Structure 1
Amino acid sequence: MTADEPISKQTAHARIVENGVVGIVRGVDPDRTIEVVDALVEGGVDTVEITADTAGVLDTLGAVASTFDRSEALVGAGTVLDSETARAVLLAGASFVVTPSFDPGVVETCNRYGAVVAPGVQTPTEAVRAHEAGADLLKIFPASSLGPDYVRSLGGPLPQLPLVPTGGVSLDNVEAYVEAGAAAVGVGSSLVDSEAIAAGAYDVLTERAERFRAAVDRARTE
């Protein structure tokens, strides 16, 4: 598969869940984004979300999509608030879309284009409605306000829902989220360290990616 070939929704969904960690790249200089993605991939995190509120995100998505074969890096867009933005990022090269809230129009647009969509939800009602609307994954956000016990409680009566806690996930709690039933986790600053990026210390990102992947694998086998 080359960078120009599309990836099926089923394949993208399987990649996200199999990897278990979605690295969130927010506000990173476009010139550095390719190096950031490369560092994460080297550490084993090959699913990366570039947030739509990052300056020049469409050009950045295009540059990353043309640099990495999709078998190396699966790149999506996050913080997508409306269907217009969803369409724009998908046309720019995003393979999946993540939102901070549930907007039926965004889910509909992603389904129309055959792309994985993970809307942000918090309550059982939001989760069920988003799932029924066609969401592939459910971003539990902000996870820092809810915790692993909430993920476990939500998954108890609703085991069919693929939950992706995001916001406040760290090396200290990632195993607890996975053990609670998370299908994957979204990780921002705990993985994509802005100070390390500013210093050009991309090896720090690679090392953290390795540790997050190891923690997820460990939690899945215990």
Structure 2
Amino acid sequence: MTILNKVIEHKMIGILRGYGTEDTIKIVDTLNRNDFKVIEVALNSPNAKATLKTLKETFGEELVLGAGTVLTLEDAQVCLDIGTDFLLSPVYNEEILKFSVEHNILYIPGCYTPTEIYNAHTSGAKLIKVFPAGQLKSIYIKDVLAPMNDLSLLPTGGVTADNINAFLDAGAKAVGVNSALVPSKREVDKSLMEEITKNVQKFKEALDKNED
């Protein structure tokens, strides 16, 4: 199964931002034990590249591990060398897309307008992050896909357990989830781990309900 197919099957990318290596390991361990397997670490987190390397060494093939906020070719190369499974960005960078195609790694560019989305698609992007989706709502996904239903979209920003199914029902292939899954800038203690566990359960229950 390809990385793209694994992301689509999982339906969610969990986005971690702002935590250092030690805390991220603890958070990812909690996610992994709760069967949340597709995770992105944003590069604007403390020691993010070292964190990605440690996660890869610790969890190996248990996780689909991505690097987020990839904005330069240099960052893309480092993340490729680390062995990350996909690259994700808040913007569309044509150079990084070409790099990803040449090196057979999934690149998920961030786009906002229909023109940006279409240009990324025709340039070879297999999955496109629609960001920030919280302002656009699920109706935007439905409207974009109405004339261009061959697009694969990943709405990100503002996705919660309460609205995830609205985005998926509108035609999104998967979603990016951040603070509704892992709250930012919190002390990484037992209380946070329990909250993350409950958040995973909320998302999974919502998805299960939608499949009934």
TM > 0.5: yes
1:12 deviates by 0.7
Question: Is 2:49–2:79's contact at 8 Å kept on the other side of the alignment?
Answer: yes
Task: Output the CA distance in 2 between the equivalents of 1:132 and 1:197.
Answer: 43
Q: Does 1:40 align with 2:14?
A: no
Question: Is 1:102–1:120's contact at 8 Å kept on the other side of the alignment?
Answer: yes
Task: Output the CA distance in 2 between the equivalents of 1:217 and 1:102.
Answer: 33
Task: Output the CA distance in 2 between the equivalents of 1:126 and 1:69.
Answer: 34
> Structure 2 stretches of 5 or more lacking a match?
none
RMSD (CA atoms): 1.5
Task: Output the CA distance in 1 between the equivalents of 2:173 and 2:134.
Answer: 17
Please give the TM-score of this superposition, normalised by the length of structure 2.
0.94
Match of 1:147 in 2: 137
Q: Would you say how many aligned residue pairs link Structure 1 and Structure 2?
A: 211
1:199 deviates by 2.9
Question: Is 1:100–1:120's contact at 8 Å kept on the other side of the alignment?
Answer: yes
Please give the TM-score of this superposition, normalised by the length of structure 1.
0.90
Question: Is 1:49–1:77's contact at 8 Å kept on the other side of the alignment?
Answer: yes
Question: Is 1:140–1:166's contact at 8 Å kept on the other side of the alignment?
Answer: yes
In the TM superposition, structure 1's runs of 4+ consecutive aligned residues that sit over 4 Å from their partners are none
1:77 deviates by 0.5
> Structure 1 stretches of 5 or more lacking a match?
1-9
SS in 2 for 1:32: helix
Change (3 A) 1:179 1:91: same
Q: Does 1:180 align with 2:175?
A: no
Task: Output the CA distance in 2 between the equivalents of 1:85 and 1:40.
Answer: 25
Matched letter for residue 79 of structure 1: T
Q: Percent identity?
A: 34
1:197 deviates by 4.9
Matched letter for residue 118 of structure 2: V
Task: Output the CA distance in 1 between the equivalents of 2:151 and 2:180.
Answer: 26
Match of 2:4 in 1: 13
